[in-house]
Amino acid sequence: MRIEEHPILSFNKGKKVNFVFDGKTYEGCEGEPIAAALHAAGIMVLGHSHNKQRPRGFYCAIGNCSSCLMVVNGQPNVRVCTEKLQEGMVVETQVGKGDLK
Amino acid sequence: MLEKTGVATEQDLQKAIPSKERLAKGPVAIIECFQRIPCNPCYTSCKKGAIKEFEDINDTPEINVEICNGCAVCVSNCPGLSIVVVDETYSEQEALVKIPYEFLPLPEEGSFVTGLDREGKAVCRAKVVKVLNTKAMDRTPIVSLAVPKDLSMTVRFMKLNDIYSDNTFVCRCEELTMGELRELIRKGFNTIDEIKRISRAGMGPCQGRTCRQLIMQELAAATGAKMSEMPISTFRPPVKPIKLGTIAGGADHE
Amino acid sequence: MITTELAIIGGGPAGLSAAISAASLGAKVILIDRSENLGGQLIKQTHMFFGSQKQYASIRGVDIAGILMKDLEKYQDSIEIMLDATVISVYEDGVIAVEQNEKYIKIKPQSIIVATGASEKFLTFPNNDLPGIYGAGAVQTLMNVHGVAPGKNVVMVGAGNIGLIVSYQLMQAGINVKAILDASPKIGGYLVHASKIRRMGIPILTSHTVKYAHGNNKLEKVTLCRLDEKWQQVPGSEFDIETDVLCISVGLSPLTELLWQQGCEMKYVPELGGHVPVRNDNLETSIKGIYVAGDVAGVEEASSAMVEGRLAGLCAAKALGYNSPDLEDKKNDCLEQLNSLRSGHVGEKIRSGLSKVTV
């Protein structure tokens, strides 16, 4: 959910772009973190932990905790809380520790 | 206890509430800031010099209520939003409480909102008399609420929810709301004719067909008068709006 | 290898202020920050700051960042700014390694000011790793920087200033805060913040904690319980609140990795948030030429971080050989400001902590 009006802030968002998450197309704003775009689309589960397969969302949102690792454009272990969204990005839930292709 | 609950106690408030005599003289700032923290914008923003200079930045504010004229500049400058202005001279039954309100949407002037106490409990209906939102206030608008006088030291916030349905329209033609009607009844306009003359309800194009019954019901509820015994207003022609030309040209049709 | 006189790591309130004051004396500065913009956490603060005019009291944090950035522009000839640049290590020979856009860059400065800030602490209870359980700072970033709501309802853990302020900001963004709880029997943040939240009808449950988080794949409900005077859970006092977001604001710990790498003498001081560097009055650590400012030196308010930054900048520039006739006055002014910010009852903890690490 996006915050449409705010008593103090105005948000200068980038232009609308499409990206693919696990095979489905979503809309986000260019330049915002991938995690923000996913969250705005109601997606809170970003992946699962390697050993116990626990669902994982982000925790710190500023690149400290690495709780939000995903596969972006084929590259695993991308921290999506800081990685910026671009048109046509392919974002996937990461299984395990990720494979280098 | 303030430290445990975040709500000031009677004892805390004693230090902040001015005397009855001062309140009777006009608007005054009430500073509900009871903890020593490093902060002094109330002092630096007061152009009247009513707030004493801080010797130590951690001092709690001291206000000279005889100098304070209730201008409310400090209200939107206080980082803790702990200051309100109270004006008990607003009207005979009501006091004005000016609160900082940093939320959207802002209430509309003339509308009715719910007055909340320091714990967020609904305590009364409150009329929004003014919404000030100047550039100098830097996104901390001040909302002036008219509240029953005995609640001037109780109401400290508001919510837009209209739990008393005060914003309900009673008269569609003249746009009289339930809250406005209730206000008139409180002021002593106790018959349908008096209400009609002061508010124009019943004098619009529908000639009271929509509002008459509702006004009578509210009068009955507020004053205990029986609807069957209520004096009704005078019905004068025409009973529906017609063109003046129709009347003027009446002879032709006779 | 890039060389410079002064490298400042972190462009938050402390680092920005340090860069401005060092450059004002003439020092050549490289200011490095890992995010795409300067200002650190200031840009997320929609509330008016406390303090006095010297620390920009009554101005909103986000606007203070703007003021500092403007000041910085005055010295653009002597300050080089590196954004999206993370310092990944500071080696023993004083070389800083920076990762920027997948490039590895080495910088050899004569002095360093470490102003890396702090990171959020975590809390233990079953299912504390469910999606929907976020740090309070994370929620602030999501809603105040990116304009995205974290969820519909929030339960806030921690009634310190961050917990109280973020709760208020959530309400401003149209998100419902169901309750704020804190294990302590007393509200830790400023009581005026607490009072303005209570006026909105949000309960503050002191002596309460989270016992359990529930949810299938993501957070749906939390079980809270009361704590007794010995901070032990009271059996039978459990109750549930349905919520999709639980915000954790139980304090910060200084981000000191780079200081450890350098071999700075460190001490564990709980009052300051954890391990912090031993420093002198000039904010210089046990290693000559390495200074600290802001939360990395001990978790405190942004107001004091800015003053510390100013002070560290002045001292570092002076040690590099720069001077000005009013330098001592400026330094003393910083020290006085810090003293006054810390002099009250709420500064007691900070004072006690600092007395253990200042030599």
| Number of structural domains found in chain B | 2
Q: State how far the Cα of B147 lies from the Cα of B164, in Å rounded to an integer.
A: 14
- Facing residues of B51 across strands? B63
pLDDT per position as a tens digit, C148-177: 999 999 999 999 999 999 999 999 999 999
The first and second tokens of residue A78, run together, are 């991308």
Q: Determine the pLDDT at residue B251.
A: 62
Ordered by where they begin, the domains of chain C are 2-119+252-357 (3.50.50.60), 122-248 (3.50.50.60)
The first and second tokens of residue C82, run together, are 């590196």
Substitution target from C199, C207, C337, C342 for chain B, most B beta carbons within 10 A: C199
Selecting from B79, B116, B138 the residue whose C-beta is nearest the C-beta of C199 gives: B116
Interface membership of C119 toward B (CB under 8 Å): no
Q: Determine the pLDDT at residue A101.
A: 65
Inter-chain contact C34–A63, Cβ cutoff 8 Å?
Answer: yes
In CATH, what number is assigned to the domain containing residue B180? 1.10.10.1100
Range of the structural domain that residue A75 is part of: 16-92
pLDDT-derived band at B234 (thresholds 50, 70, 90) equals confident
pLDDT-derived band at B253 (thresholds 50, 70, 90) equals low
**Inter-axis angle of helices C302-319 and C327-342, to 10 degrees?**
150
Residue B242 counted as domain residue = no
Q: Domain check: are B142 and B181 in the same one? A: no
| pTM, two decimal places | 0.89
CB A59 within 8 A of CB C135: yes
| Cβ contacts of A5 on chain B, cutoff 8 Å | 104-105
| Cβ contacts of B120 on chain C, cutoff 8 Å | 198-202
Query: Which residues, at least 6 apart from B142, have a Cβ–Cβ distance to it below 8 Å?
Result: B72, B75, B76, B98, B99, B100, B101, B130, B131, B132, B133
Interface membership of A5 toward B (CB under 8 Å): yes
Q: State how far the Cα of C54 lies from the Cα of C61, in Å rounded to an integer.
A: 14
pLDDT per position as a tens digit, C196-219: 999 999 999 999 999 999 999 999
Q: Domain check: are B87 and B182 in the same one? A: no
CB A88 within 8 A of CB A75: no
pLDDT per position as a tens digit, B94-137: 999 999 999 999 999 999 999 999 999 999 989 999 999 999 99
Q: Domain check: are B20 and B57 in the same one? A: yes
In CATH, what number is assigned to the domain containing residue A86? 3.10.20.440
Residue A9 counted as domain residue = no
User: CA nearest B72: which of B85, B88, B81?
Assistant: B85
Q: State how far the Cα of B209 lies from the Cα of B149, in Å rounded to an integer.
A: 35
Position A1 pLDDT exceeds 60: yes
The chain C residue lying nearest B35, using CA atoms, is C191
Position C251 pLDDT exceeds 70: yes
Range of the structural domain that residue B131 is part of: 2-159
Reduce the DSSP state of residue C239 to 3 states and report it: strand
Interface membership of A36 toward C (CB under 8 Å): yes
Q: State how far the Cα of A84 lies from the Cα of B127, in Å rounded to an integer.
A: 47
Residue B247 counted as domain residue = no
Greatest CA span in chain C, whole angstroms? Answer: 68
Query: Which residues, at least 6 apart from C55, have a Cβ–Cβ distance to it below 8 Å?
Result: C49, C303, C304, C306, C307, C337, C341
Inter-chain contact C129–A49, Cβ cutoff 8 Å?
Answer: yes
DSSP character at residue A71: E
Q: State how far the Cα of C159 lies from the Cα of C188, in Å rounded to an integer.
A: 6
pLDDT-derived band at B252 (thresholds 50, 70, 90) equals low
| Number of structural domains found in chain A | 1
Inter-chain contact C192–B40, Cβ cutoff 8 Å?
Answer: no
Q: Domain check: are B176 and B117 in the same one? A: no
pLDDT per position as a tens digit, C296-330: 999 999 999 999 999 999 999 999 999 999 999 99
DSSP character at residue B107: P
Query: Which residues, at least 6 apart from C182, have a Cβ–Cβ distance to it below 8 Å?
Result: C157, C158, C159, C160, C163, C188, C204, C205, C206, C207, C208
**Cβ contacts from A onto B, under 8 A:** 9
Q: Determine the pLDDT at residue C311.
A: 98
Position C5 pLDDT exceeds 90: yes
Q: State how far the Cα of C84 lies from the Cα of B77, in Å rounded to an integer.
A: 35
Residue A99 counted as domain residue = no
CB B175 within 8 A of CB B210: no
